[in-house]
């Protein structure tokens, strides 16, 4: 064998070795990429684990009477979003609802018409987390259709012979009305104090009184059954509405899901259409 031939064989052997080394490197690289895939899968699974539990069953919501129309709409939407789940509402005066909750009434969510009534629940340790304001509401005078008594201001409600209904002073709408009256330097003795805003509105709808101080949302919900009169003092008596999940809620995942719906863009749209102000 010549020296040249030997060199050729040696060169060929080296090339084959290099090719084998490249193939091995490629396999190693492929194996490394594959080992990263399960990690990505684990990250995704970890994210899925943080997803809220499936919502089903009944969600019990205690809510201020003024939320009746908008929350009923949202309750229907909730049932469509979560088949097999439904929302049961208990609407009433916020102070009465708060007393029921602190007294042990089972509920998942509390939506109050004022921070003061919500504080009753949080001070008793019956709330989970911090209440969040989701809307605000402003007062308006509800009159008989066509406003036959020509009521144009809050002061007009003090006219002799005019029958007026107010919410009880312990109810958020009643406390707000008292704030507005004080701001206007006015004193008003109503023919009745009602336990929630819907009851005060009904007095006008049934023509049992000539006027009542309620929320704008209630006047709007009543449609042509009543007239509405704005008054400047209401700007200083706007109520913030807080919402919170309750401690020991029978359906905690449902509570969180309903609150999320209320705070969502869709929920805020429904509330805005009802006449509520942004939080």
Check whether 73 has a pLDDT greater than 80.
yes
Q: What is the mean pLDDT of the chain?
A: 86
pLDDT for position 182: 97
**Integer Cα distance of 98 and 93 in angstroms:** 9
pLDDT digits 0-9 by tens, 181-209: 999 999 999 999 999 999 999 999 999 99
pLDDT digits 0-9 by tens, 81-140: 999 999 999 999 999 999 999 999 999 999 999 999 999 999 999 999 999 999 999 999
3-state class (DSSP) for residue 210: coil
What is the band of 1 on the pLDDT scale with cuts at 50, 70, 90? Answer: very low
Per-residue tokens: 133: 């304001």
pLDDT for position 218: 97
Domains, the chain: 57-136+240-273 (3.40.190.10), 139-236 (3.40.190.120)
Q: Which residue has the higher pLDDT, 16 or 242?
A: 242
* DSSP H or E segment with residue 21: helix 3-49
How far from 9 is each of 16, 52, 116, 266, 276, CA to CA, in Å?
A: 11, 68, 95, 78, 90
**Integer Cα distance of 140 and 218 in angstroms:** 9
Instruction: Classify 141 in phi/psi space as left (phi over 0), alpha (psi -120 to 50) or beta.
Output: beta
Q: Which residue has the higher pLDDT, 34 or 226?
A: 226
135: DSSP letter: E
Q: What pTM was computed for the model? A: 0.80
pLDDT for position 53: 60
> What percent of the chain lies above the pLDDT cut of 70?
81
Mean pLDDT value of segment 47-66: 76
Per-residue tokens: 278: 């942004």
pLDDT for position 54: 87
What is the band of 19 on the pLDDT scale with cuts at 50, 70, 90? Answer: very low
């Amino acid at each position: 064998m010549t020296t040249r031939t030997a060199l050729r064989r040696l060169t060929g052997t080296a090339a084959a070795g290099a090719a084998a080394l490249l193939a091995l490197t490629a396999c190693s690289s492929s194996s490394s990429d594959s080992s990263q895939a399960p990690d990505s899968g684990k990250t995704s699974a970890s994210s899925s684990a943080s997803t809220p539990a499936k919502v089903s069953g009944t969600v019990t919501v205690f809510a201020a009477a003024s939320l009746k129309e908008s929350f009923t709409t949202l309750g229907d939407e909730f049932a469509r979003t979560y088949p097999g789940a439904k929302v049961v509402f208990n609407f009433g005066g916020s102070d009465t609802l708060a007393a029921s909750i602190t007294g042990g009434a089972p509920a998942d969510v509390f939506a109050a018409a004022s921070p003061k009534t919500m504080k009753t629940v949080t001070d008793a340790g019956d709330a989970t987390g911090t209440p969040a304001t989701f809307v605000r509401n402003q007062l308006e005078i509800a009159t008989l259709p066509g406003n036959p008594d020509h009521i144009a201001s809050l002061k007009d409600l003090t006219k002799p012979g005019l029958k007026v209904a107010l919410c009880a002073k312990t109810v958020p709408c009643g406390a707000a009305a008292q704030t507005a009256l004080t701001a206007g330097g006015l004193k008003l003795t109503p023919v009745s104090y009602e336990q929630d805003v819907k009851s005060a509105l009904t007095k006008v709808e049934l023509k049992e009184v000539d006027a009542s101080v309620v929320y704008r949302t209630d006047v709007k919900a009543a449609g042509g059954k009543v007239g509405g009169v704005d008054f400047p003092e209401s700007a200083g008596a706007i109520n913030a509405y807080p919402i919170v999940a309750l401690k020991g809620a029978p359906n905690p995942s449902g509570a969180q899901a309903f609150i999320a719906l209320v705070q969502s863009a869709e929920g805020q749209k429904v509330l805005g259409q009802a006449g509520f102000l942004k939080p």
